């Protein structure tokens, strides 16, 4: 490994160590579970052991009588308060505590508040629930069978398990292109249900002050402001009396976007007992009940000429949304941004139809660093392109190069209506091929094959659409996806920037200080970044979907420019010249042609707050605020190449090399970008090779612990080889694009393509994730099976 | 956070004290060694006991690994990490180091013990397969004294052993032979995962280079770690060769009883039983100097 200097101490962009890391590496992070309040009680939730059952009777007397127990609350109690059901982020409703039926294993049924977490757990075992077990709907393919039991009989008039239909693109035009194409390849693909499994599980501490009518809520949320508004709307507590604090967060990946019943229970618990109440779910609860990801059963079809010009892509998707539609996505996008399934290719037509169904599984649907379903979209297109290469017997790199969009096509309007802001794909692809030594790898593969060894090379090229989003078409439950930002420069020239987004590990306290530093020349170390507290920060929709840099990053740059504009007026008066005579060098204004006549931003800050006159009409102070509404999404892209070896005797897959070339536009802190990419690639190895939330036919979750739901370790991943190209976003103030999820989106197809490429001598064209040894062995014997 | 149900805690400082506590508290009590099998079950509330008797203070008494010319004696409290790091042990039975490299992770290996591993009697447990391959025997002590149970009789079913009420496993004895070799191999879905299948092999060569004795122990292919009795019979007297290993592999595949689960299909596991039997026999023979 080559070593790089990661601490260049830039005043602006460049490599620097993360400002937040000293507190994390020294154990001084402060997470929700670290919050201790005087008199605080502990809450535990009783969960359904069944996937589908009617609640016949519930007896809580024994639990309530246990010493140290302060309250036992059931769905019936919540119904009395009008809180048994709550809205989901997708306009559906979800039970806070089940009143009528349980609809997935692990669903919340009752809760206990006690003096300590032991007593709370002990009391759960004393709650007696009589269930009438019903047939569950587990296989999404059977959900619409006329005989299937109806899961959502809570919805008036509901007689089936249909959730929604959705389509995009032009069905007729696409059909016409397919008609006349030389080659049509079709492939069924499953992107199995996976779970973000953040290291820190979800939890909350609720402290309701009955006298003031004020709620203070520490919670593991990626979107504190949005949560506050929703609590105000649901619980009827006025918004100005709610403070949501999202302290340090141990990983989110989308898992901490929704409002979970547990948060509401903690609030109710505090109201009922008059004490602060802490709820922290355990590992199993997190895995079985909180936001899952994927669960798309897809048919991909691709039409092309015989010499490899891709003409059209068509897909039908069956989406398993679990028991409640809890997908977190902009309202007008029930399938998230799956519409970008046409990928990075210049095609004539595209069409997608989707049917979403309810099943007796946990709700959720957009999570795990997926950029609102772009993971599924990229997997579909990159897998189907490889299937086409297989059928045409064409090198998959060449096939991609032949079809990539050309630089002069940008901004590019895709066949499904997405305006790609910018892109220059071929150099990215070529850089990846050269870093990988692609031709040598193919030669090596041929040699190894002749010796009976199994080696594969997989390629994925992706385009993402991140930075939701323009308020004209993107909102969540009516809240527009614009982001506020405030910047205040103190008299001594130090500053505080207040963000509406919330870091879960992405390094915001560093990146955002660097963005501001680049604009106003105050060193990042002198800029405090405040986030995650609704009382301390302006409104905005939070961090997910790689939106922080595209949206809040733009806000931070623009608010800094506003401050700089004001500083310029003050500088002009300090230097007794006109504004037009000033020149900005990072950190100071000087008089054009007289560099000796200069004032630093620190001098200006002191003047802004100090004695002496300011220019006419100018207020004191040096601060500004902004609300940034992006004009479009940003479209990062990347080319990934994976090399695998497969043990012919055991079918164990080893990822030998992985080359990731990312283009996220302007690079603020390359070290942080690489860290995000490394993490996402590791996620990709997990999804491609081992992760899956599986269910048995009764609906028991088979991934309820980290012994069963496998996450990759350092031993499963190679030394990542990263590279980059830079195609700035034309509409973003600093040209930056999101990158947090790129690697999670791009790596699974690269790895699967590599495994399938390795198995080519066995006649394998496709095998579904997770590619565990057993499943690879099945594929080698011609029995590749979908995982569900 | 997962928290167990209430229990009482006692700490034994000698084997005799542990036995006395076990006798007094009866089946409401459990010994706790490394706790890496017991505590997860208690925290998930799959198991609960009124009393735990902590035997970690017996590490001084039972933490030894003693290698003599004809026998290795390992105290029940020897930790995974000690088995991994013992050069003396690796010199006579490299199978231990092979196995310990793929058992769990450093955190678990720092605490988990040989005794706890064998007594947990998990069907996927690796050290039982090691001990089965080596033809080990177990020393069990109660108030009436000690008895020795061969590995073949130690496991009585999943999570059941020959250790009776009021008894404690104190030692594992493994014979040492000249011209012998051993090896272990495991297929796992991820480092630190339990085995999809694992196999341990032991081979002793006769003066003429033929196989004098060979045994294979398999984990995760039946209700308990399994010795495959057909293999010693089939291999004795044969000259080591690929077709002999393949034959042993076929016997292993046939003789085991795996189930389809999240780790893999029964067919695949049978295949692995054959493949890993072949591989470990091959290495064991070469380590035996064959
Ligand atoms: C994450 C994880 C991964 C693991 N992976 C593997 C793996 O890959 N392969 C593998 O083989 N194991 C694995 N294990 C299990 C690990 O090896 C355990 O440490 C071991 O199984 C039990 O040893 P222990 O000392 O922790 O036993 P404990 O948990 O303390 O006890 C287990 C049982 O044995 C009894 N017991 C303990 N000592 C004695 C004694 N001297 N006499 C009588 N009864 C006794 C206890 O009463 C209890 O019933 C894993 C464990 C974890 C947590």
Contact between A90 and A327 under an 8 Å Cβ cutoff? The reply is: yes
Domain match, B70 and B110 both: yes
% residues pLDDT > 90 (chain B): 96
B2 part of a folded domain:
no
For residue A456, what are its two tokens? 């594969």
Domain match, B171 and B63 both: yes
| Residues in chain A closer than 8 A to B189 (CB atoms) | 689-690, 710, 772-773
Give me the CATH number covering residue A685: 3.30.365.10
Q: Which atom of ligand 1 is nearest to the CA of B31?
A: 47
Q: What is the DSSP string of A28-39?
A: ---BGGG---TT
Distance CA A15, CA B138 (A): 59
Domain boundary among the residues B152, B175, B198 is at B175
In terms of Cα–Cα distance, which of A241, A729, A759 is closest to A456? Answer: A759
User: Is A774's CB within 8 Å of B265's CB?
Assistant: yes
- B105 has a pLDDT exceeding 60: yes
Series of mean pLDDT values for 10-residue runs along chain A (788 residues): 84 98 96 98 98 98 98 97 93 96 98 97 97 98 98 97 98 98 98 97 98 97 96 92 97 94 98 98 97 96 98 98 93 95 98 98 86 96 98 98 98 98 98 98 98 98 96 92 97 98 96 98 98 98 95 98 98 97 97 96 97 91 98 98 98 98 98 98 98 97 95 96 98 97 98 98 98 98 95
| Residues in chain B closer than 8 A to A280 (CB atoms) | 1
> Chain A interface, mutation test: which of B190, B194, B263, most A Cβ atoms within 10 Å?
B190
Domain match, B75 and B35 both: no
Token look-up 């190895």 returns A685
- Ligand 1 pocket mutation pick from B17, B98, B108 by most atoms within 8 angstroms of CB: B108
- Ligand 1 pocket mutation pick from B120, B163, B199 by most atoms within 8 angstroms of CB: B120
Chain centroid, CA B161 distance in Å:
12
Domain match, B166 and B65 both: yes
CB atoms within 10 A of CB A153: 14
Gyration radius from chain A CA atoms: 27
Return the pLDDT at B290. 81
Contact between A264 and A228 under an 8 Å Cβ cutoff? The reply is: no
Element (H, E) at B54: strand B51-54
Distance from CA of A206 to the nearest CA of B (A): 18
Domain match, B42 and B89 both: no
Q: For chain A, how many residues are written?
A: 788
B209 part of a folded domain:
yes
H helices present in A7-116, as ranges: 21-25, 61-65, 75-81
| Residues in chain B closer than 8 A to A122 (CB atoms) | 5-6
- B1 has a pLDDT exceeding 80: no
Domain boundary among the residues A273, A289, A305 is at A289
Give me the CATH number covering residue B223: 3.30.390.50
Domain match, A344 and A225 both: no
| Surface-to-core class of residue A382, CB atoms within 10 Å of its CB (0-12 exposed, 13-18 middle, 19+ buried) | buried
Distance from CA of B70 to the nearest CA of A (A): 36
Query: Which residues, at least 6 apart from A599, have a Cβ–Cβ distance to it below 8 Å?
Result: A571, A574, A575, A588, A589, A590, A607
In terms of Cα–Cα distance, which of A253, A674, A680 is closest to A460? Answer: A680
Query: Which residues, at least 6 apart from A649, have a Cβ–Cβ distance to it below 8 Å?
Result: B275, B279
**Predicted-assembly ipTM surpassing the 0.95 threshold:** yes
Give me the CATH number covering residue B104: 3.30.465.10
Q: Which atom of ligand 1 is nearest to the CA of B76?
A: 41
User: Is A694's CB within 8 Å of B262's CB?
Assistant: yes
Query: Which residues, at least 6 apart from A217, have a Cβ–Cβ distance to it below 8 Å?
Result: A204, A205, A206, A207, A231, A242, A243, A244, A245, A263, A266, A267
Say how many domains are in chain A. 3
Distance CA A51, CA A54 (A): 10
Domain match, A424 and A495 both: no
Distance CA A395, CA B258 (A): 41
For residue B207, what are its two tokens? 């003066």
- In chain B, count H helices and then E strands: 13, 14
| Residues in chain A closer than 8 A to B266 (CB atoms) | none
A340 part of a folded domain:
yes
A489 part of a folded domain:
yes
Q: Give residue B114's domain range.
A: 59-175
A17 part of a folded domain:
no
Distance CA A320, CA A190 (A): 11
Domain match, A301 and A448 both: yes
Distance from CA of A655 to the nearest CA of B (A): 12
A3 part of a folded domain:
no
Distance CA B286, CA B181 (A): 7
Residues of A with CB under 8 A from a CB of B: 33, 117-118, 121-122, 125, 280, 282-284, 649-652, 689-690, 694, 702, 705, 707-708, 710-713, 715-716, 772-774, 777-778
Strand-strand pairing, B8-11 and A419-420? unpaired
Query: Which residues, at least 6 apart from B132, have a Cβ–Cβ distance to it below 8 Å?
Result: B151, B152, B200, B215, B217, B225, B226, B227
Which candidate from B40, B192, B268 shows the least CB-CB separation from A777?
Answer: B268
| Surface-to-core class of residue A700, CB atoms within 10 Å of its CB (0-12 exposed, 13-18 middle, 19+ buried) | middle
A16 part of a folded domain:
no
Per DSSP, what are the bridge partners of residue A365?
Answer: A293
Strand-strand pairing, B168-175 and B137-142? antiparallel
Q: Give residue A767's domain range.
A: 292-468+632-780
Domain match, A405 and A450 both: yes
Which candidate from A117, A690, A702 shows the least CB-CB separation from B3?
Answer: A117
Q: Kindly report the backbone phi and psi dihedral angles of residue A510, in degrees, each rounded to the nearest multiple of 5, phi listed first.
A: -95, -55
pLDDT single digits (tens) B66-95: 999 999 999 999 999 999 999 999 999 999
Domain match, A514 and A598 both: yes
Strand-strand pairing, A364-365 and A292-304? parallel
Give me the CATH number covering residue A44: 3.90.1170.50
Element (H, E) at A315: strand A310-320
Q: Strand, helix or coil at B233? A: helix
In terms of Cα–Cα distance, which of A358, A112, A194, A303 is closest to A694? Answer: A194
Return the pLDDT at A2. 62
Q: Strand, helix or coil at A737? A: coil
A157 part of a folded domain:
no
A192 part of a folded domain:
no
Domain match, A546 and A559 both: yes
Domain match, A701 and A667 both: yes
> Distance from the CA of A682 to the center of ligand 1, in angstroms?
29
Say how many domains are in chain B. 3
Residues 218-277 in B contacting A (C-alpha not used; CB under 8 Å): 262-265, 268-269, 271-272, 275-276
Tell me if chain A has a CB within 8 Å of the CB of B191.
Answer: yes
Q: For chain B, how many residues are written?
A: 290
> Distance from the CA of A661 to the center of ligand 1, in angstroms?
44
> Distance from the CA of A683 to the center of ligand 1, in angstroms?
30
Distance CA B169, CA B82 (A): 18
Contact between A344 and A425 under an 8 Å Cβ cutoff? The reply is: yes
Q: Search chain B and give the residue with CA nearest A773.
A: B189
């Amino acid at each position: 490994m080559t070593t790089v200097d990661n601490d260049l101490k830039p005043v602006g962009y460049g490599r620097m160590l993360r400002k937040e890391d000293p507190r994390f590496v020294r154990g001084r992070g402060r997470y929700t579970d670290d919050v201790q309040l005087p008199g605080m009680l502990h809450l535990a939730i009783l969960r359904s052991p069944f996937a589908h059952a009617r609640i016949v009777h519930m007896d809580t007397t024994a639990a309530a009588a246990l010493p140290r127990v302060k309250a036992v609350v059931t769905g019936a109690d919540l119904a009395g308060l009008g809180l048994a059901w709550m809205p989901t982020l997708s306009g559906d409703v979800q039970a806070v505590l089940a009143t009528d039926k349980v609809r997935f294993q692990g669903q919340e049924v009752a809760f206990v508040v006690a003096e300590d977490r032991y007593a709370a757990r002990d009391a759960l075992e004393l709650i007696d629930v009589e269930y009438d077990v019903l047939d569950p709907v587990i296989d999404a393919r059977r959900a619409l069978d006329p005989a299937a039991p109806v899961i959502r009989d809570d919805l008036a008039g509901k007689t089936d398990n249909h959730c929604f239909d959705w389509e995009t693109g032009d069905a007729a035009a696409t059909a016409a292109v397919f008609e006349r194409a030389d080659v049509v390849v079709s492939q069924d693909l499953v992107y199995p249900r996976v779970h973000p499994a953040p290291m820190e599980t979800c939890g909350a501490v609720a402290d309701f002050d009955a006298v003031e009518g004020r709620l203070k809520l520490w919670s593991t949320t990626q979107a504190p402001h949005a949560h506050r508004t929703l609590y105000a709307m649901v619980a009827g507590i006025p918004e100005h009396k709610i403070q949501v604090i999202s302290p340090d967060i141990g990983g989110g990946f989308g898992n901490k976007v929704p409002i979970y019943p547990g948060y509401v229970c903690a609030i109710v618990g505090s109201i009922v007992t008059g004490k602060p109440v802490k709820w922290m779910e355990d590992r199993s609860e997190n895995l079985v009940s909180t936001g899952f990801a994927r669960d798309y059963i897809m048919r991909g079809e691709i039409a092309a000429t015989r010499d490899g010009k891709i003409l059209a892509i068509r897909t039908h998707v069956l989406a398993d949304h679990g028991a409640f539609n809890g997908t977190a996505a902009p309202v007008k996008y029930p399938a998230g941004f799956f519409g970008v399934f046409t990928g990075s290719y210049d095609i004539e037509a595209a069409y997608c139809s989707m049917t979403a169904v309810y099943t007796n599984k946990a709700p959720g649907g957009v999570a795990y660093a997926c950029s609102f379903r772009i993971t599924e979209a990229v997997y579909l297109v990159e897998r189907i392109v490889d299937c086409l290469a297989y059928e045409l017997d064409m090198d998959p790199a060449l096939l991609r190069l032949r079809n990539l969009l050309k630089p002069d096509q940008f901004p590019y309007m895709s066949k499904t209506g997405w305006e790609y802001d910018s892109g220059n794909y071929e150099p990215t692809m070529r850089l990846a091929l050269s870093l990988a030594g692609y031709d040598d790898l193919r030669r090596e593969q041929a040699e190894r094959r002749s010796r009976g060894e199994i080696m594969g090379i997989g390629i994925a090229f992706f385009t993402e659409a991140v930075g939701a989003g323009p308020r004209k078409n993107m909102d969540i439950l009516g809240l527009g996806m614009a982001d506020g930002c405030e910047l205040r420069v103190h008299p001594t020239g130090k500053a505080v920037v207040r963000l509406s987004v919330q870091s879960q590990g992405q390094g915001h306290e560093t990146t955002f200080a660097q963005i501001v530093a680049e604009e106003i020349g105050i060193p990042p170390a002198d800029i405090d970044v405040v986030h995650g507290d609704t009382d301390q920060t302006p409104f905005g929709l939070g961090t997910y979907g790689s939106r922080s840099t595209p949206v809040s990053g733009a806000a931070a740059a623009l608010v800094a420019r506003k401050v700089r504009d004001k500083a310029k007026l003050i500088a002009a008066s300090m230097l007794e010249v006109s504004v037009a005579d000033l020149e900005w060098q990072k950190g100071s204004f000087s008089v054009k042609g007289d560099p000796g006549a200069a004032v630093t931003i620190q001098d200006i800050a002191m003047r802004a707050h100090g004695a002496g006159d300011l220019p006419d009409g100018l207020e004191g102070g040096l601060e500004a605020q902004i609300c940034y509404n992006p004009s479009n999404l940003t479209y990062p892209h990347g080319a990934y190449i994976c090399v695998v070896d497969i043990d012919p005797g055991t079918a164990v897959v080893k990822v030998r090399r992985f080359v990731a070339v990312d283009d996220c536009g302007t690079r603020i802190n390359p070290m942080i970008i690489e860290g995000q990419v490394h993490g996402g690639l590791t996620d990709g190895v997990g999804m491609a090779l081992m992760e899956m939330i599986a269910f048995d036919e009764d609906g028991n979750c088979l991934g309820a612990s980290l012994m069963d739901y496998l996450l990759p370790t350092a031993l499963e991943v190679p030394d990542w080889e990263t590279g980059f190209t830079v195609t700035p976003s034309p509409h973003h103030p600093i040209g930056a694009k999101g990158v947090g999820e790129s690697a999670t989106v791009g790596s699974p197809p690269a790895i699967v393509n590599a495994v399938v490429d390795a198995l080519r001598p066995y006649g394998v064209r496709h095998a579904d994730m997770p590619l565990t040894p057993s499943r690879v062995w099945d594929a080698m014997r011609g029995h590749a099976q979908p995982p569900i | 956070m997962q928290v167990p149900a209430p229990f009482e805690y006692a700490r034994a400082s000698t084997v005799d004290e542990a036995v006395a506590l076990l006798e007094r508290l009866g089946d409401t009590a459990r010994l706790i060694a490394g706790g890496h099998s017991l505590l997860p079950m208690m925290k998930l509330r799959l198991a609960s006991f009124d009393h735990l008797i902590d035997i970690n203070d017996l590490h001084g008494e039972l933490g030894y690994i003693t290698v003599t010319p004809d026998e290795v004696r390992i105290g029940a409290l020897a930790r995974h990490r000690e088995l991994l790091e013992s050069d003396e042990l690796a010199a006579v039975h490299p199978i231990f180091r092979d196995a310990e490299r793929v058992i769990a992770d450093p955190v678990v290996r720092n605490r988990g013990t040989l005794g706890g591993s064998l007594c947990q009697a998990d069907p996927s447990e690796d050290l039982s397969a090691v001990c089965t391959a080596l033809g080990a025997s177990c020393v069990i002590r109660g108030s009436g004294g000690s008895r020795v149970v061969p590995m073949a009789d130690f496991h009585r079913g999943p999570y059941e052993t020959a250790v009776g009420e009021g008894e404690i496993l104190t030692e594992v004895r493994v014979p040492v032979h000249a011209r012998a070799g051993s090896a272990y191999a495991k297929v796992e879905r991820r480092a630190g995962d339990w085995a999809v299948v694992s196999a341990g092999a032991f081979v002793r060569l006769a003066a003429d280079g033929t196989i004098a004795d060979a045994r294979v122990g398999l984990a995760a292919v039946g209700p308990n770690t399994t010795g495959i009795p057909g293999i010693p019979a089939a291999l004795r007297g044969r000259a080591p060769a690929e077709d002999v290993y393949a034959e042993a592999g076929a016997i292993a595949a046939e003789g085991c009883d795996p189930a389809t689960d999240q780790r893999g299909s029964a067919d695949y596991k049978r295949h692995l039983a054959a493949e890993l039997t072949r591989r470990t026999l091959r290495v064991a023979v070469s380590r035996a100097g064959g």
